[in-house]
Structure 1
Amino acid sequence: MVSRRSFVTAAGALAAAAASSPLWASSITPRAAAAGASLPVSLANNSGSGTVYAYISGSDSTGWPGFVTPDGRFQRLPSPSAVLTPAPDYAIALGASGSPATTFTLQDYVIGGRVWFSVGKKIQFFVNPPGGGGGVPGLVQPGFTSSDPNWLTNWTFCEFTYNSANLYANISYVDMVALPVSMATTGSGGNQSVSPLPAGALASIASGLQAQAAADGAPWNQLVATDASGAVLRVLAPAHSPTDFGGYWNSYLDRVWSYYQSHPLTINGQGSIGSYTGTVSGDTLVFSGLNTNGVPFTKPSAVDIFGCASGPLYNSGGDARGAVAARLAAALNRSSLLVSGGNNQPDGVQPSGYYTDAITNHYARLVHKYATIGYAFPYDDVGPTGAAPVDGHIQDGAPTSWTITLGPGAGSGSTPPPSGGTGAYSTIQAESYSAQSGTQTESCTDTGGGQDVGYVSNGDWLKYQAVDFGSTSPLQFVARLASGAPAGVSGAIQVRIDSAGGTKIAEIDYGSSGGWQNWQTVPANVTTRVTGVHDVYLTFASGSTADFVNINWFTFTK
């Protein structure tokens, strides 16, 4: 397995080093067909904002950094003589939200690339002078500290490499969660797509980390970056935390080291690496027959665990120690070493056993709760042999088109909201909520595919901001529902306005439909007149603590 590592060159206080190409860029297995240096690219704005800029950065085949210009050509960066210098402006201004995509043909290969989007203002890039006698300048990209000049800019990115072997592109949350990006391709691999971060997920992850900080006193809330108004811009991965997590992991590590003093731990390096079994001797986890290259497996620090690349979790590459280190790092982030099957990593523990300890990587826990795809730490690709990958990537040996969208849209795998998006009499996708509590999104097999909102139980709610009912009150509320709840479990879907405890205007009482993807369209009368613009809340009430309903979409009718 290949880790979708973090490869941002952080600007910090503008004293950053040159950006390097991602490791995965050189380790992709070529397909039979070869991609030519001619790829139609579309950049779409579905963000809701009228001011959006895109950038495409990367390196050419010699490793020289640069940007793709609006005509699809790769432009090498100039090399400054001695000081950090602002990069030329290679922003590609996109049309208003919902307007036709900006299109061009990418006419050069780009290695270790990123497609960036920013809303409201441009991103500031810088160029470092060549260092170490290599003669190649360094591109300084947006970083993860408040001293970075892009800190209050709302930006995001996806990663890619386009070479003679293929186009490989992925969405990752190893560095942060921010504005949603989706992708779609056509080509020899068929039609492929990667879904964006679901609506409301960024806010849910942020609020979850703030609640976790209040619960355990660790600085999870410091990972939430906001603008001057308090709106969430991005949520940083703990490897980029502005506040040291100190001894956060110590009590968990003490328990692990104590347990494996008298119990064997087996780690399957997978592939051709083989398995290694060890126990704790003194303060060191020792695996029989494993050459640790002079770096023993002692107790790691919080920095080591979150970054998966330092101290005892130093990864020496594609050898046996590297494979063991990667799987040990994954098990620590997931706190899966003391659960049932935890002595057999990674095969002994299924994802349902991850993040169940009070001490865990709560950022990763929340990312996987609210995002459908995407790595949350560097070795999140480690999993039981044969398990489906959790990353969001596309790969095509001979691509014929590539669309990258800011916001929900092409590549999202879901039906986009109708024009206007907040009209009460249009179809409102359940996953387009602006806030929620207690629910999760999941893949949907209903007509149109995409996602539904599931795992709904008593006390949960969904908020849909600024729904316009116009001057005429609706007669009915209509929802697309499914349920695989056991016999005797049912509940109410209540429609309220302006708050979760606001005036109830409609209610559907619902039991099992025979399956969580066995969909039914269910109407209910609107019992209280409502006109104008209101926040609409779907609240859920049940006499049971069990999940009782999934919802795909809803609308109102006159």
Structure 2
Amino acid sequence: MLRTLKRRAMAVGLGIAAVLGGSLLATGVPSPAHAAVPDTVPLKITNNSGRGEPVYVYNLGTQLSTGRQGWADASGAFHPWPAGGNPPTPAPDASMAGPAAGRSMTIRIPKFSGRIYFSYGRKLVFGLAAGGLVQPAVQNPTDPNRNILFNWSEYTLNDSGLWLNSTQVDMFSAPYSVGVQRADGSTASTGRLRPGGYHGFFDALRGRPGGWAGLIQTRSDGTVLRALSPLYGVETGALPASVMDDYVDRVWRKYTTSTLTVTPFADQPGVKYYGRVSGDVMHFTNGAGAVVTSFQKPDASSVFGCHRRLDAPNDQVRGPISRTLCAGFNRSTLLVNPHQPDSGTADFYRDAVTNHYARAVHAQMADGKAYAFAFDDVGHHESLVHDGDPRQALLTLDPFS
């Protein structure tokens, strides 16, 4: 079974909301005055993977001017998806031949909230349901893309500029990095692994007891394809549902007798909320003492997915508090710092009960930045580049080393 495109709101970075566990949808937050962003910008794709298989590239997303879902060809021209069905019907082949090893190619990306997929050796399988595009869901062992080596980057290009990320929210797989060339000729980049980081990540999971090695998926020939996120690990049974219980219990005990202070907006230090636990519920009050929102005691799925009992609506109260709680649970800093979010990384992932997947991802990144869970942008620890006047976007397929 494939996954149908759906939205779940997350405030990510500069007014960005999420699609499908991390995809970006800019909400039009004004940026500093600059020349008008053109309808398309070039995306240079460089293949430094060292692999000999053919590469296939896809640019899929939502056209921001119309809200229609579709795909873009190499020139940046938009093609809407035809109507789907139940069961889903095959989607048109939107693939582009990618660059061979050691080569580059340039396509143009339009004003989209979308994904740049790339696969090695085989084309990906997409479907169209009545509700829209059906995308790979490799946590399902019967998904037709299960044995294909692939990954994706996410981007939004709109009138305020370009946001482009590398993401590990759903899985860690074929390594890549992203960048943007600015008007002055300088380049910002992120997402590149340290030397040895690809193997180092998988070795870290294999060496961690408690089911973490079960996140790794391989082909029948032994080829490592990916590691699923811990959310999917819990959903598929690879990780025990109780994997975060001990830490959550300790947090709940601590804030039964003390207060958790959340300052969710870096630019509004006077906006604070105060959390105290009563039974299985953490209630947050404002400065006047009025309860503004409450959270049931979360389970591992709620923590790793930043959803369910840690749902984060795109509002100005519950969502920002939930984002902060989710980051603190995943990084296991709620016991050592009663003033959230954290100002630095020194205490991240130090508890024995933590998101060891996220810990391993960040440890292997050259700049320490990653999108290892949905709200990894809390405190600006995400692997994201942004520019209000982009001259060129960059996507580099990196070595498997």
Instruction: Answer yes or no: same fold by TM over 0.5.
Output: yes
Give the equivalent residue in structure 2 for 1:394: 385
- Calculate percent identity across the aligned residue pairs: 35
The alpha-carbon deviation at position 287 of structure 1 amounts to 2.5
Letter in 2 for 1:201: G
The alignment status of 1:249 with 2:244, answered yes or no, reads yes
Q: Is contact 2:60–2:70 with CA below 8 Å preserved after alignment?
A: yes
The alignment status of 1:58 with 2:61, answered yes or no, reads yes
CA deviations on 1:234-288 (whole Å, 9 max, x unpaired) are: 1111112121532222222222222222222211122447112232223322223
User: What does 1:342-353 correspond to in 2, within 5 Å?
Assistant: 342-347=337-342, 350-353=344-347
Secondary structure of the equivalent of 1:30?
coil
Letter in 2 for 1:212: R
Give the equivalent residue in structure 1 for 2:174: 179
User: What does 1:202-351 correspond to in 2, within 5 Å?
Assistant: 202-213=198-209, 218-241=210-233, 242-243=236-237, 245-270=240-265, 271-272=267-268, 274-289=271-286, 291-293=291-293, 296-311=294-309, 313-339=310-336, 342-347=337-342, 350-351=344-345
The alpha-carbon deviation at position 198 of structure 1 amounts to 3.3
2: CA distance, partners of 1:251 / 1:69: 49
The alpha-carbon deviation at position 291 of structure 1 amounts to 4.1
Q: CA 1:382/1:259 → structure 2, altered by over 3 Å: closer, same or farther?
A: same
The alignment status of 1:67 with 2:71, answered yes or no, reads yes
The alpha-carbon deviation at position 325 of structure 1 amounts to 1.4
CA deviations on 1:296-321 (whole Å, 9 max, x unpaired) are: 3231111111111111x121223222
Q: Normalised by the size of structure 1, how large is the TM-score?
A: 0.63
Letter in 2 for 1:86: P
Give the one of 31, 41, 44 matched to 2:43.
41
2: CA distance, partners of 1:237 / 1:147: 18
2: CA distance, partners of 1:176 / 1:378: 12
Give the equivalent residue in structure 2 for 1:361: 355
Q: Is contact 2:5–2:135 with CA below 8 Å preserved after alignment?
A: no
Give the equivalent residue in structure 2 for 1:95: 99
Give the one of 373, 380, 385 matched to 2:376.
380
2: CA distance, partners of 1:252 / 1:81: 44
Comparing 266-275 and 141-150, the one that deviates more: 266-275
Q: CA 1:324/1:115 → structure 2, altered by over 3 Å: closer, same or farther?
A: same
CA deviations on 1:171-225 (whole Å, 9 max, x unpaired) are: 1221221112223332336422323233432322222112112xxxx22122111
Q: CA 1:343/1:187 → structure 2, altered by over 3 Å: closer, same or farther?
A: closer
1: CA distance, partners of 2:108 / 2:296: 51
1: CA distance, partners of 2:4 / 2:127: 11
The alpha-carbon deviation at position 58 of structure 1 amounts to 0.9
Letter in 1 for 2:51: S
The alpha-carbon deviation at position 156 of structure 1 amounts to 0.7
- Give 5+ residue unaligned stretches, structure 2: 8-18
Q: CA 1:285/1:103 → structure 2, altered by over 3 Å: closer, same or farther?
A: closer
The alpha-carbon deviation at position 19 of structure 1 amounts to 4.0
The alpha-carbon deviation at position 324 of structure 1 amounts to 1.5
Letter in 1 for 2:387: D
Q: Normalised by the size of structure 2, how large is the TM-score?
A: 0.86
The alpha-carbon deviation at position 118 of structure 1 amounts to 0.5
- Give 5+ residue unaligned stretches, structure 1: 1-12, 131-137, 384-388, 409-431, 435-558
Q: CA 1:81/1:280 → structure 2, altered by over 3 Å: closer, same or farther?
A: closer
Letter in 2 for 1:45: N
CA deviations on 1:536-555 (whole Å, 9 max, x unpaired) are: xxxxxxxxxxxxxxxxxxxx
Q: Is contact 1:177–1:202 with CA below 8 Å preserved after alignment?
A: no
Q: Is contact 1:144–1:240 with CA below 8 Å preserved after alignment?
A: no
Q: CA 1:235/1:88 → structure 2, altered by over 3 Å: closer, same or farther?
A: same
Q: CA 1:121/1:325 → structure 2, altered by over 3 Å: closer, same or farther?
A: same
2: CA distance, partners of 1:19 / 1:258: 36
Q: CA 1:249/1:27 → structure 2, altered by over 3 Å: closer, same or farther?
A: farther
CA deviations on 1:457-478 (whole Å, 9 max, x unpaired) are: xxxxxxxxxxxxxxxxxxxxxx
The alignment status of 1:85 with 2:85, answered yes or no, reads no
* Larger Rg belongs to: 1
Letter in 1 for 2:349: Y
Give the equivalent residue in structure 2 for 1:127: 128
Q: Is contact 1:326–1:382 with CA below 8 Å preserved after alignment?
A: yes
CA deviations on 1:137-193 (whole Å, 9 max, x unpaired) are: x11111132221101100011111122221221112212211122233323364223
1: CA distance, partners of 2:204 / 2:118: 26
The alpha-carbon deviation at position 81 of structure 1 amounts to 4.8
Q: Is contact 2:24–2:156 with CA below 8 Å preserved after alignment?
A: no
Q: Is contact 2:28–2:158 with CA below 8 Å preserved after alignment?
A: no
Q: How many residues align?
A: 372
Secondary structure of the equivalent of 1:352?
coil
CA deviations on 1:492-534 (whole Å, 9 max, x unpaired) are: xxxxxxxxxxxxxxxxxxxxxxxxxxxxxxxxxxxxxxxxxxx
Give the number of the structure with larger relative contact order, counting CA–CA contacts within 8 Å between residues 6 or more apart.
2
CA deviations on 1:102-139 (whole Å, 9 max, x unpaired) are: 22444x422x2111111111111111124xxxxxxx11
Give the one of 380, 393, 404 matched to 2:395.
404
1: CA distance, partners of 2:29 / 2:240: 35
Computed over aligned residues only, the root mean square deviation of the Cα atoms, in angstroms, reads: 2.2
Letter in 2 for 1:301: D
Secondary structure of the equivalent of 1:399?
coil
Q: Is contact 2:85–2:128 with CA below 8 Å preserved after alignment?
A: no
Q: CA 1:281/1:189 → structure 2, altered by over 3 Å: closer, same or farther?
A: farther
2: CA distance, partners of 1:81 / 1:227: 31
Give the equivalent residue in structure 2 for 1:76: 80
CA deviations on 1:12-49 (whole Å, 9 max, x unpaired) are: x13x3334454642255434222111322322222112
2: CA distance, partners of 1:298 / 1:68: 43
Secondary structure of the equivalent of 2:322?
helix
Give the one of 164, 171, 175 matched to 1:169.
164
Give the equivalent residue in structure 1 for 2:13: none
Q: CA 1:86/1:200 → structure 2, altered by over 3 Å: closer, same or farther?
A: farther
The alpha-carbon deviation at position 370 of structure 1 amounts to 0.9
2: CA distance, partners of 1:229 / 1:46: 24
Q: CA 1:261/1:109 → structure 2, altered by over 3 Å: closer, same or farther?
A: closer
Q: Is contact 2:74–2:108 with CA below 8 Å preserved after alignment?
A: no
2: CA distance, partners of 1:62 / 1:237: 33
